[in-house]
Amino acid sequence: MAVPMKSGGMTGTAALLLTFASGLTTGIGALFGAIIGTVSKKLISICLAFAAGAMLYIVSGELIPESNKLYKGRIASIGNILGFILGLIATKL
């Protein structure tokens, strides 16, 4: 994270502090998730379903159109379809 910030003109100290802050929030979120996970299996499954839906929204809304812009033709669409199929197979294992 710090390299693009530094390349964009941010000072090294500011880039380092923002990178640390991002990592700190990840750790706090993991701790919160571990606490919630021990409360109820239903609650953790709802949280995981919400996270999966958010990722699908991001992939569908941002990454798939961007890959179609970068790579003309069918290869980007075939790769996306294969990725979804492999994901479905991996969840069945």
Q: What is the pLDDT of residues 25-67, one digit of tens each?
A: 888 988 888 887 788 888 888 888 898 888 888 887 887 788 7
Structure token digits, residue 19: 């990178």
Token couple for 37: 């996970």
Structural domain containing residue 49 = 41-93
| 47 burial level (CB within 10 Å; 0-12, 13-18, 19+) | middle
Indicate whether 70 and 31 sit together in one domain. no
Q: In terms of domains, do 84 and 45 share one?
A: yes
- 10 and 48 together in one domain: no
CA dist 18 and 1 (Å) reads 9
Handedness of CA 86, 60, 20, 44 (dihedral sign): negative
Report how many domains make up the chain: 2
Q: Are residues 12 and 57 in the same domain?
A: no
Is the same domain home to 9 and 47?
A: no
Q: What is the pLDDT of residue 89?
A: 92
